[in-house]
Amino acid sequence: MCGIVGAIAQRNVAKILLEGLSRLEYRGYDSSGVAINNEVGVRAHRAVGKVQALKNKFEATPLDGKIGIAHTRWATHGKPTENNAHPHFSGDDLAIVHNGIIENHEKLRTRLKEQGYVFKSETDTEVIVHLIHYELRDESDFLLAVKNALKYLEGAFAIAVTLNDQNHRLVAARKGSPLVVGVGIEENFVASDQLALLHVTDQFVFLEEGDVVEVTRDGVTIFDSKDVIQERPVHVFNHNVDATDKGEFRHYMMKEIYEQPKVIAACLEGRISDNKVLTDCFGVDSSFLKSVENVHIIACGTSYHAGMVAKYWIEDLANLPCTVEVASEYRYRKVAVPKDTLFLTLSQSGETADTLAALRKAKELGYLTSLAICNVPSSTLVRESALTLLTNAGAEIGVASTKAFTTQLTALLITSIAIASEKEALSAIKEAELVNSMRSLPAHIDEALKQDVAIKKVSDRFANKHNALFLGRGPMFPIALEGSLKLKEISYIHAEAYPAGELKHGPLALVDEDMPIITMVPHNSMLDKLKSNLQEVAARGGELYVFADKDAELQNTEGVIFTEVPKVDEILEPIVHTIPLQLLSYHVAVVKGTDVDQPRNLAKSVTVE
């Protein structure tokens, strides 16, 4: 994931762009660059490493100008080198910055080479700038040349382009990657994220899919996907909202629960196209996907539960054996590693001591490669793993993991589909169906959140409870484990989770009128078996809290409290069914009066053994 900024003003834009890059550094951190368009042409500085390295270059050799574009990169095509850093040029007067992945870049590169273009980088981005240059041979209008070039591109992108001509403008476009316009007074801007422009404006226009925008000092003209000019509303940024601000919420945990539709969309951004997972999202080398024969997943706590769900997906979709283990066990035992095994770590923080120790041990054991699914780009886990897939959940401050968990699941689903597809275990039709389902996830999460008030009412019944039992079958068993962990860590109610089929092998002895039993009943092939398990509980006077979609045909009856969950495709059920459990544990903790965001004895990042 990369970040882009563009500016056109009456003043020198270099400082504005550099500050914008610092604010966008969370999106990519391996290299950066700025191109300044002035009377002498378009000139750029690029640097490997943090934005500070680029700032040092500007200090040593300033570039001044009133039009510019800038970029912070997270390498996908080509290593993080200065040559691969953006902006990329075609000739001396045309430069581009790009966020996203151009899927058909190889085909375009071959065609452009035939036209005499010489490529200076390994990036997919360079084909776009040469394409625009090629279009400018026949079309003198810069805006039309960009529009023509975009017709050849397949994949996801946001771009900003500058040309040294008499017209003093920037052209930008988005398809699949975010882009906002920042509106100033006699100056205007574009960026991947409004946070990048808060030092110069608080007025933003959010571009839509397929939009192309012409930005001048005096105004902004937006052309939609049908090339029709559109007026889009200007939104004023609420300065009270940032990652360290609870906003309208009483606790960070609730704020983070409500952020899930947005962060899941961010996790999907640039990783899926219309019909498939974009395998380049794993970084420069995604060839491991074809070679992998086994998967070992290692994690702790909530992250471990996400890994347990992935086992079902990997074995089901890719037909590959997958084992999941807590890091604190793995690190101290003798491990047999089958040939071509992927070592996959999961961690919100990327700083969990046991997970890091497991990774260091694994490096000695001859794994195929190591992949970290992590939320913190600058973390040790990311730095020490061969490959990374960032979850893009944004800072999670509440100790109880919520949005970090559902974005881990989203990233794991992307990974499972990518492996299955590359191993040819998944047909193109099935992959397209799955990707299509994933696209609907944010909307389904939004719908699940609508049960907040109903769940708050249910939570009152837990005020005097001391124990709880969570049941689930299939991939819903790890979700039951996660629900029980959430409840115990923030409400201090003792909670356990079992696969529902295990009930009669022991835990049924615990069931009486004081024991709430919480279960998720997805409308899948295990529905009838799970209903039988519920009968076993009801027959013993247990109080059942059932979360199910309406097709499961369950309703409130004596001893059964039913809460509706949106009906979704089976593959999404573990993610969507997590939401009511998060809400339940939150409200129970509030009823109990515990410290929701900083529960006793726990820490957000477990950096010691």
Contact positions vs ligand AGP (CB under 6 A) = 300-303, 347-349, 352, 355, 399-401, 489, 605-606
User: Distance from CA of residue 589 to its chain's centroid?
Assistant: 28
Query: Could you tell me which of 166, 169, 158, 141 has the C-alpha nearest to residue 67?
Result: 169
d(CA 487, CA 496): 10
Q: Which residues contact 158 (CB under 8 A, 6 or more apart)?
A: 4, 98, 99, 100, 172, 173, 174, 175, 176, 177, 178, 179, 192
* Residue 42 beta carbon to ligand AGP: minimum distance, rounded to whole angstroms: 43
* Residue 379 beta carbon to ligand AGP: minimum distance, rounded to whole angstroms: 9
Query: Among residues 279 and 355, whose Cβ is nearest to ligand AGP?
Result: 355
Query: Among residues 347 and 533, whose Cβ is nearest to ligand AGP?
Result: 347
d(CA 238, CA 220): 22
* Residue 344 beta carbon to ligand AGP: minimum distance, rounded to whole angstroms: 13
d(CA 555, CA 535): 14
Whether 604 sits among the annotated catalytic residues: the reply is yes
Query: Among residues 280 and 489, whose Cβ is nearest to ligand AGP?
Result: 489
Query: Could you tell me which of 154, 201, 180 has the C-alpha nearest to residue 3?
Result: 180
Residue nearest to ligand AGP (CB): 301
* Residue 476 beta carbon to ligand AGP: minimum distance, rounded to whole angstroms: 19
Query: Could you tell me which of 86, 35, 89 has the C-alpha nearest to residue 64?
Result: 35
H helix count then E strand count, the chain = 19, 25
* Residue 147 beta carbon to ligand AGP: minimum distance, rounded to whole angstroms: 44
- List the alpha helices (DSSP H) in 324-371: 327-330, 353-362
Query: Among residues 270 and 301, whose Cβ is nearest to ligand AGP?
Result: 301
* Residue 241 beta carbon to ligand AGP: minimum distance, rounded to whole angstroms: 24
Query: Among residues 20 and 478, whose Cβ is nearest to ligand AGP?
Result: 478
Radius of gyration of the chain measured on its C-alpha atoms: 26
Which residue in 2, 281, 300, 374 is the catalytic one? Answer: 2
Query: Among residues 279 and 302, whose Cβ is nearest to ligand AGP?
Result: 302
- Backbone φ and ψ for 395, nearest 5 degrees, come out as -60, 130
* Residue 581 beta carbon to ligand AGP: minimum distance, rounded to whole angstroms: 12
* Residue 300 beta carbon to ligand AGP: minimum distance, rounded to whole angstroms: 4
Which residue in 488, 531, 592, 604 is the catalytic one? Answer: 604
Angle value at C-alpha 290, between 287 and 296, nearest 5 degrees: 95
Place of tokens 């270099």: 14
d(CA 411, CA 426): 18
d(CA 264, CA 195): 19
Query: Among residues 300 and 521, whose Cβ is nearest to ligand AGP?
Result: 300
CA separation (Å) from 373 to 18, 35, 413, 415, 466? 29, 33, 11, 9, 35
Whether 2 sits among the annotated catalytic residues: the reply is yes
Q: Which residues contact 441 (CB under 8 A, 6 or more apart)?
A: 264, 265, 268, 410, 572, 575, 576
Query: Among residues 269 and 489, whose Cβ is nearest to ligand AGP?
Result: 489
Q: Which residues contact 21 (CB under 8 A, 6 or more apart)?
A: 3, 5, 32, 34, 51, 54, 70, 71, 72, 196
Q: Do 35 and 69 contact (CB within 8 A), yes or no?
A: yes
* Residues assigned a catalytic role: 2, 604
